[in-house]
Amino acid sequence: MNSLERVLATIPGIETDYQPFTMLLSLYGASLIKTNTIDYYRDPDLWFEGQKAVVDTFDPDVLITPFSFPIEAEAFGSELTFLNKYAPNTKKPIITDLSQIKQLPTPDFKNSMPIQFFLKGMDFMAKNYGKTKAIASPIHAPSDLAALLMGIEMWIDTLLFHHDKVKEIMEKSIEQFVRLGNEFMERGATFLVVPVNFTTAMIITDRIFEMLLPYLEKAFSQIKGPIVIHNGGSKLMPFIGRFAELTNVIAFVLEPSESFNEARQIIGEDMVLMGNFDGPNFVKLSNQKAKEITLKILNDRKDDKHFIFATSNADIPYETPVETIQTVVETIRSFKKY
């Protein structure tokens, strides 16, 4: 089996030669090629050099196209701030008054530097690895893009008291999600990864989630391929059953404290589960501790044919020792499943 075959086998639950795995090493590619992250997140050629180093060093089964939601916000006009050895962040929300929503232009893909960064990175991945590796393309959930563009406080206030404005911003964010998501699929993505940083019980109520569900269904149903729901640093479990009912959803990446067994009780045996290893915490781990955590997860999922080992939350940090990551990879590859 090659990596793509190994990953695709988990969807119907076919036994694989070894446990498929992935890690969020988008940022870490810059560390491997010893470049600053300011240039790395601007130059798709440099970014791809970093990802080639990721493949050469760790050989994950799932590769990840450029991952930076602030860059997606930049495509709408947001200003970014850069710190070396970190991914970029937005300086401030671009929407400061709800009246601005109507005039907010959706990105011109052909002439948008941020969008072209994503698409060129996708093209490099597909050209070089599309026949042998699974390719995951991160994209902001429509409900989360709204929070990024206007800030969490304004977004929650809008959800509570301005339902007409919710409709306005969701129409624009759904348009962006569907267009960019299908562009990724057409260029060779195996599936989309949709973090739900703000569409979780840690931030919104059950009633607000129910209000957002029809918008999410409208968006997801227009995607021409499968969707993986990612925890985004929040907990999925309170809403996981309703996410599982959305069109095209095939998998979930759980937060480290969440239980695979509990998730199985809610969503059944047939959906793919991933996660439970905290990516940002990698830098603090000894090699032995990283191995222990890896084995705990692998043993928990030993008989689960619908499982892909994956890190949760954000990027593995720039300064993580390469030996720590290699320890995890070697532990996975030597593990005997089933």
CA distances 232 to 105, 128, 218, 252, Å, are: 26, 28, 21, 11
338: pLDDT confidence band, cut at 50, 70 and 90? confident
Q: Structural domain tally of the chain? A: 1
What does the alpha-carbon distance between residue 242 and residue 297 come to, in Å, rounded to a whole number? 25
Mean pLDDT over 120-146 rounds to: 97
Average pLDDT, the chain: 96
Residue 318 lies in a domain: yes
Residue 145 lies in a domain: yes
State what percent of residues in the chain have pLDDT above 70.
100
Residue 338 lies in a domain: no
SS3 97: coil
* pLDDT tens for each residue of 267-323: 999 999 999 999 999 999 999 999 999 999 999 999 999 999 999 999 999 999 999
Domain enclosing residue 189, as ranges: 3-333
Q: Which among 192, 272, 176, 271 has a CA at the least distance from the CA of 224?
A: 192
The alpha carbon of 283 is separated from its chain's Cα centroid by a whole number of angstroms, namely 20
Q: In terms of pTM, does the model score above 0.95? A: yes
Q: Amino acid identity of 233?
A: G
**What is the pLDDT at residue 337?**
84
Residue 176 lies in a domain: yes
The CATH number of residue 12's host domain is 3.20.20.210
**What is the pLDDT at residue 270?**
96
Residue 42 lies in a domain: yes
Mean pLDDT over 200-225 rounds to: 96
